[in-house]
Amino acid sequence: MSDNISPPIRFAVATISDRCSRGESVDTSGPALVALCKETLGAELIDSVCIPDDPEGIEAILRDWSTRTPTIDLILATGGTGLAPRDHTPEAAMRVIDRPHPALLELARYRCLEKTPRAFLTRGIAGAANRSLIITLPGSPRGATENLEAICDILPHAIETLRGDVKDG
pTM: 0.94
pLDDT at 166: 73
Confidence of residue 6 (pLDDT cuts 50, 70, 90): confident
Distance, CA of 47 to CA of 163 (rounded, Å): 19
* pLDDT, averaged across the chain: 94
Confidence of residue 167 (pLDDT cuts 50, 70, 90): low
Q: What's the number of domains the chain is made of? A: 1
pLDDT at 1: 38
pLDDT at 119: 87
pLDDT at 168: 61
Q: Which residues contact 12 (CB under 8 A, 6 or more apart)?
A: 45, 46, 47, 48, 65, 72, 74, 75, 76
CA nearest to 14, candidates 76, 80, 81, 103: 76
pLDDT at 131: 96
- CATH code (residue 135): 3.40.980.10
Give the sign of the dihedral formed by CA 157, CA 67, CA 57, CA 102.
negative
Estimate the crossing angle of helix 29-41 against helix 141-149, to 10 degrees: 20
42 in a domain, yes or no? yes
Helices then strands, each counted (H, E), the chain: 7, 6
pLDDT digits (tens, 9 = 90+) for 95-148: 999 999 999 999 999 999 999 888 899 999 999 999 999 999 999 999 999 999
118 in a domain, yes or no? yes
Whether 158 contacts 99, CB under 8 Å:
no
132 in a domain, yes or no? yes
Does the pLDDT at position 18 exceed 60? Answer: yes
2 in a domain, yes or no? no
